[in-house]
Amino acid sequence: MLASRNSSSHSMFFILLGIPGLENYQFWIAFPFCVMYIVAVTGNVTILHIIRIDHTLHEPMYLFLAMLATTDLVLSSSTQPKMLAILWFHDHKIEYHACLIQVFFIHAFSSVESGVLMAMALDRYVAICFPLRHSSILTTSVVVKLGTAVMVRGLLWVSPFCFMISRMPFCPNKVIPQSYCEHMAVLKLVCADTKINRGYGLFVAFSVVGFDIIVIGVSYVMILRAVLRLPSGEARLKAFGTCASHIGVILALYIPALFTFLTHRFGHHVPRVVHIMFANVYLLVPPMLNPIIYGVRTKQIRDRVIQGCCRKGP
């Protein structure tokens, strides 16, 4: 009986509403979303191409940057094409397995992105605090192991989300009041006790994000202490500018992500349109900003982009 119920519920479609409350404006809202997505794809593909062809950039910072660009491409592409289809063409249906795949990619690669930002903070800490030992501490082997650990953590921690949901029956209500399939939004459609799922979701969120934020925070405190000891005011100013831009990127990921996560569980009085807009920002703005902050502001990559543009010019 339960098996047949699961089978019938899992052969269905869900309905993604898009941005409830702004139905009359969704067509126009899609244009800035589309522009941000194009910037994200173009910027991250450009960074990956430059790092691939320039062997002088096969160093820890740039290898981590390549990991971040790959993660951003996966994260934004797992949601934006369907979101634009909803907002422009009213294509609200999403098949059950496609929805589950979205859940997996969104949460797994959000975890990976958090881990890569943590690894990049560690790289900056070693580079600034131990400049003479940087190449011996962060060897290519160590970078690969860190990247692999971050990827495996994301895949292993998030896989149970999909496994547990796939074994649960769904209610007749098939409407997800947002632009993409997210774990908590899908879980609200389940006709069963979801305490274990919710508890596991809290554990994953706080174990991943909590650990990464602590490491990032400690790294930047140590970096700032080292920067304040620099004798040159110009060097301090330059280092502060770099740290400020990097911290801005980190906050652009964590603030909307934590707001979305906590609103699903505790923010019952938060207007739905505010929640949905933050949920969209969390998956679109960081992939757009990262290539600008980490790429354009990095001299070696900026010079390669300028050289490429000059060669294509008249």
39: pLDDT confidence band, cut at 50, 70 and 90?
Answer: very high
Q: What's the whole-number mean pLDDT along residues 178-188?
A: 90
The pLDDT tens digits of the residues spanning 211-259 come to: 999 999 999 999 888 888 877 777 677 777 777 777 888 888 888 888 8
Rounded-to-integer distance, Cα 165 and Cα 158, Å = 12
3-state SS class at 15: strand
pTM: 0.90
pLDDT of 141 higher than 60: yes
Q: Which of 231, 284, 305 is nearest to 79 (CA)?
A: 284
| DSSP classification of residue 58 | -
Q: How far, in Å, are 48, 65, 66, 159, 304 from residue 59 at the CA level?
A: 13, 10, 10, 31, 16
Q: Of 198, 186, 168, nearest to 14 (Cα)?
A: 186
d(CA 17, CA 260): 17
Position 117 confidence tier, pLDDT thresholds 50, 70, 90: very high
| Residue 93 DSSP code | E
Q: What is the pLDDT of residues 280-297, one digit of tens each?
A: 888 889 999 888 887 767
Q: What's the pLDDT at 311?
A: 64
Q: Which helix (H) or strand (E) covers residue 110, if one does?
A: helix 96-129
